[in-house]
Amino acid sequence: MVGTGAAPASRRGARGGSLLGGAALLAAALVSCGAAYQAIAAARDRRRYPPPGRLVDVGGHRLHVYATGPVGDGGVRGPAVVLEAGVGATSAGWAWVQQKVERFAGVVSYDRAGIGWSEEGASSSDARGAAEQLRAALSGAGVAGPYVLVGHSLGGEYARVFAALYPSEVAGMVLVDAGAPDRDGVMRVGAAAPSLPGVPLPEGTMGQVERAFRLFRYAPLAARLGVVRIALALGGATNPLPADARAAARASMSSPRHWRAVRAEVAGSWEAAAQARASGGLGEKPLVVLNRAVPEGGVTRAIREFGAELAASLSSDGEHRVVEGADHFSLVANREHARFVAEAIRGVVEAAGEGSRP
């Protein structure tokens, strides 16, 4: 009778070890299947969605540049419209806007390093680096200035820095729900920002932003294992872009390369905002600032107040508009809301060409 109680405990331990081993094997199998699924699907994406534009060398890597509209032998005629997307957004995200603008002007969308059809390369995660690479891409593609810059979200910071670095090459600007806060959650316009009150975001907003940003560190791994691709597929066709642009954007977002680039841009966003604040204004060059109307609440109200400040302080020919019914993303992705962006661009193009707003 001595020791008879040991056998059941031993058997329980063996069963527990078997369960742990089985779980480990299952997890390894799922990881292998996910990685294989991602590799096969990525190869299919490359065949299905070739770049619509040109890949232009900017020094060690190539950026995708897509120019449409009135084109001469030497490239797009000025003032050419240059579209600068927000964090992690691809050139395909401008599809509705580009289709409308190309009817009256040469227009260029492009992908920053690692995004969309562009190759990975030296970091362009701060505004100055992004502006320098954009200028090299435009030059390499034969797209001559002057340019009307259109910046959405953080792309607005990049556009402002481009205008400061190359003022003679910028004829006007449209900022679409643009701007980024300080780490203390305040939106400020100029170089003297630390001494100005600025427009504060609602309390707690920056904590939410910081938590969301931290998630980006895991995104490349999730994409490598096919998790992001599966999540996008389960999400359905909710994106209001044209079907071909939506599919191309989804293919890009399924790539680990995409999320490595997004992670770098997010990490550099605070510095980009600081560089934009130090960049100065546009003088008398025409400017339109567009802002969202929804969702209602403190964040939207703060962004709109900041937009009004931008329009008043960056240009003596600045105008602020709110697009009713539009949110941050629908301003460019929704067909109807994109019409208001295109109308603002047309006004700036005409004002830049004629020397005054029509």
> Mean pLDDT across the stretch 173-195?
87
Q: What 3 state SS string does the chain have?
A: CCCCCHHHHHHHHHHHHHHHHHHHHHHHHHHHHHHHHHHHHHHHHHHHCCCCCEEEECCCCEEEEEEECCEECCEECCCEEEEECCCCCCHHHHHHHHHHHCCCCCEEEECCCCCCCCCCCCCCCCHHHHHHHHHHHHHHCCCCCCEEEEEECCHHHHHHHHHHHCHHHEEEEEEECCCCCCCCCEECCCCCHHHCCCEECCCCHHHHHHHHHHHHHHHHHHHHCCHHHHHHHHHCCCCCCCHHHHHHHHHHHCCHHHHHHHHHHHHCHHHHHHHHHCCCCCEEEEEEEEEECCCCCHHHHHHHHHHHHHHHHHEEEEEEEEECCCCCCHHHHCHHHHHHHHHHHHHHHHHHHHCCCC
Look up residue 262 and give its amino acid.
V
Query: For residue 39, what pLDDT is reported?
Result: 72
Query: For residue 357, what pLDDT is reported?
Result: 38
pLDDT greater than 50 at residue 1: no
Average pLDDT of the chain?
86
Least confident of 120-124, 301-305, 330-334: 120-124
Pairwise pLDDT comparison (31 vs 186), residue with the higher score: 186
- Beta bridge partners of residue 240, listed in sequence order: none
Token output for 296: 């209602």
pLDDT greater than 60 at residue 2: no
pLDDT tens sequence across 66-121: 999 975 444 445 599 999 999 989 999 999 999 999 999 999 999 999 999 999 98
Query: For residue 122, what pLDDT is reported?
Result: 72
Least confident of 25-29, 254-258, 293-297: 25-29
Confidence category of residue 204, pLDDT binned at 50, 70, 90: confident
Query: For residue 220, what pLDDT is reported?
Result: 85
% of the chain surpassing 90 pLDDT: 59
Query: For residue 75, what pLDDT is reported?
Result: 45
Query: For residue 295, what pLDDT is reported?
Result: 93
Tally of CB atoms within 10 A around 304 = 18
What architecture does CATH give domain 49-354?
3-Layer(aba) Sandwich (3.40)
Query: For residue 322, what pLDDT is reported?
Result: 98
> Mean pLDDT across the stretch 151-167?
97
Least confident of 16-30, 159-173, 181-195, 267-281: 16-30
Confidence category of residue 45, pLDDT binned at 50, 70, 90: confident
Beta strands 80-84 and 107-110, pairing class: parallel
Least confident of 2-11, 45-54, 222-231: 2-11
- The domain limits of the chain are 49-354
Query: For residue 355, what pLDDT is reported?
Result: 55
pLDDT greater than 80 at residue 291: yes
Confidence category of residue 238, pLDDT binned at 50, 70, 90: low
Query: For residue 74, what pLDDT is reported?
Result: 43
